[in-house]
Amino acid sequence: MNIGEMIRSDKGVSGYIAEAGFDFPHVVLEAVQSGNPRAPRFNLKTRSPRGRDVRLGSIWERSAKDTGEVYFGGYIDTAQSGFVPIRIFRSRADDSVWTIVRRTAQARRQEAGDIGLPDPAFSTDTRSGDHRFPDYNDD
């Protein structure tokens, strides 16, 4: 689900992140200076209602296994929604625009693939509530 957008300009990279539980109208990326190879590439920051800089989360640079295309992955941590895993992908229409996507859980996607069709021997007429069960008796 798309929850935001970042735009690169002469002033840097800024944008917004919003969904039902939170709305950050002005979000910026701050480069992380670290010698640690596991350190994030950026911190995601916004301003508090009183104008203080607040760190929302961290962003790491990634590359797609299949294509090698660069994208960014990380998280935001909000008081209302908690830990929100995100991905940031470059727009194919405008290379100065990046779309922020809320990442869905891997387990949920795998389980969805395992869902099969219902057994045709059991059907429910939803209008009448009539349930038809298969007859397993050998009589």
The per-residue pLDDT for 133 is: 47
Is 100 within a domain?
yes
For residue 116, pLDDT over 90 is answered with no
- How many whole angstroms from its chain centre is CA 126? 35
Is 96 within a domain?
yes
Is 59 within a domain?
yes
pLDDT average, residue stretch 78-91: 86
Is 133 within a domain?
no
Is 134 within a domain?
no
pLDDT digits (tens, 9 = 90+) for 118-137: 555 544 454 555 545 455 45
Count of domains observed in the chain: 1
The predicted model scores a pTM of 0.69
pLDDT average, residue stretch 44-54: 92
Is 58 within a domain?
yes
Residue 100 domain boundaries: 2-113
Is 129 within a domain?
no
Is 31 within a domain?
yes
The per-residue pLDDT for 39 is: 94
